[in-house]
Amino acid sequence: MLAGLTIPILTASAASALDVLPDEKASREACEKRFCEIVLDGKDTGPPLACDMTKTWDRVKLQKDGEKNALPWGFGDARCNVVLKIPREKITPALHEQRHTFVFERQTINCKIEGADNKLNSLEVDAAPKIKFRNGRAHKVWLNIEDVRGESGLKSLVWTASKLADNIGLFHGATVKEINKFIHRTCERRYGKGATEAKGTKRDEKDKPLRADAR
């Protein structure tokens, strides 16, 4: 969920300087499955949600997303990683209580961004996203960026996107919609007892994982 809220801040054709790692997709799908198991089980007791996720973006994709959101991307390829460990008892109340505010503990997203000189720059973003739920559905979302460390141009982009998201609501509507669809529809469809998506089959286009530009 954290990656789903913060990675779009950094928002293929030609060959990427940063190639997609072999286990990227598997690690994200494993996290998705574990989260959905917690959602569908609904119990407070049990192992925490533990994830180690990485995603690599091609510069062309980032440029298109940047143009769409009025946040020009003047860099190259990007790769980000986030490690999560969230107790179940922090997740399940959001799904069952009339009103609940879910606040992530401070997490760090570690990125490598290709600069104009084709060299890789490090970027670290500390965030503690917050989601307000009403009757089990996401209602409001904040990225809550707390600190950014890295090249000045990248830092400026992250802070600008953060302010647009939290103060003006850029990404907000799409983010809330995608979170609710994922929790209340996608989890049941993919991992519920009557799952309609068999392992290894192509996923329905209208029910794919959270988009990079919708977090």
Domain residue limits, the chain? 2-192
Q: Which two tokens stand for residue 171?
A: 């990404």
**In this structure, what token pair is assigned to residue 97?**
């209580």
CA distances from 119 to 79, 85, 157 (A): 13, 32, 18
How confident is the model over 34-54, as a mean pLDDT? 94
Tens of pLDDT, residues 135-169: 999 999 999 999 999 999 999 999 999 999 998 88
Identify the residue whose tokens are 């109340």.
93
Residue 50's alpha-carbon distances to 68, 82, 89, in angstroms, are 33, 11, 13
pLDDT tens per residue, range 161-173: 999 999 888 788 9
**d(C-alpha 36, C-alpha 49), whole Å:** 10
Tens-place pLDDT, residues 10-41:
333 333 468 999 999 999 999 999 999 999 99
Q: How confident is the model at residue 194 (pLDDT cuts 50, 70, 90)?
A: confident
Which parts of the chain are beta strand (E)? 49-57, 78-86, 99-103, 107-114, 120-127, 130-134, 137-142, 145-150
